[in-house]
Amino acid sequence: MDRLTHLYRQIILDHYKNPRHKGVPNDDAYRVVHLKNPTCGDDITLAVKHDGHVVEDVRHEGSGCSICCSSASVLADLMRGQEISQAHRLIQQYNAMLHGEAFDEAALKEAAAYQGVKQFPARYKCATIAWQAFEAALKEEGE
Ligand code: ZN
């Protein structure tokens, strides 16, 4: 295993064992989306709070494999405080990365750790389910 692969594994394991921003608040200000990945047993709930301009908070909870659960934590870390337009751009960059296309590695920060998933198409859903839930929550209409 080369050094970079080792680093990426460390990031994924760290977020799996010590998830950040875990726990969905019982608060109407959050838009909540629940998604399941039956092929792996991943079950994730994403809660997003934004003011129409900036992503103020991202929370998550659920159960599943290390790739799924850790990516929800990495996503929450990355997206909190981002402008919504930038959040959409980051989603595009993440999907491009998983498809083996050119992407902005610096902008994705720790989320770049999932680039190895492109070699394992069966795990693609695991790496994207939290991102799909986040995108769906962003699009949900608030009051
Ligand atoms: Zn999974």
How much distance in Å is there from the Cα of 66 to the middle of ligand 1? 7
Q: Does 142 have pLDDT greater than 60?
A: no
User: Hey, what long-range contacts does 92-100 have (CB within 8 A, 24 or more apart)?
Assistant: 94/128, 94/131, 95/128, 95/131, 98/124, 98/127, 98/128
Mean pLDDT calculated for residue range 21-40: 96
Q: Evaluate if pTM is beyond 0.85.
A: yes
- Burial (CB < 10 A; 0-12, 13-18, 19+), residue 89, is middle
How much distance in Å is there from the Cα of 39 to the middle of ligand 1? 8
Per-residue burial over 66-78, b = 16 or more CB atoms within 10 Å of its CB, e = otherwise: ebbbbbbbbbbbb
How much distance in Å is there from the Cα of 70 to the middle of ligand 1? 10
How much distance in Å is there from the Cα of 51 to the middle of ligand 1? 31
> Any idea which residue has 């934590």 for tokens?
73
| Residue of 12, 23, 68 whose CA lies nearest to 47 | 23
Residue 127, CB-side half-sphere exposure with 13 Å CA sphere: 23
Give 67-121 pLDDT, tens digit per residue: 999 999 999 999 999 999 999 999 999 999 999 999 999 999 999 999 999 998 8
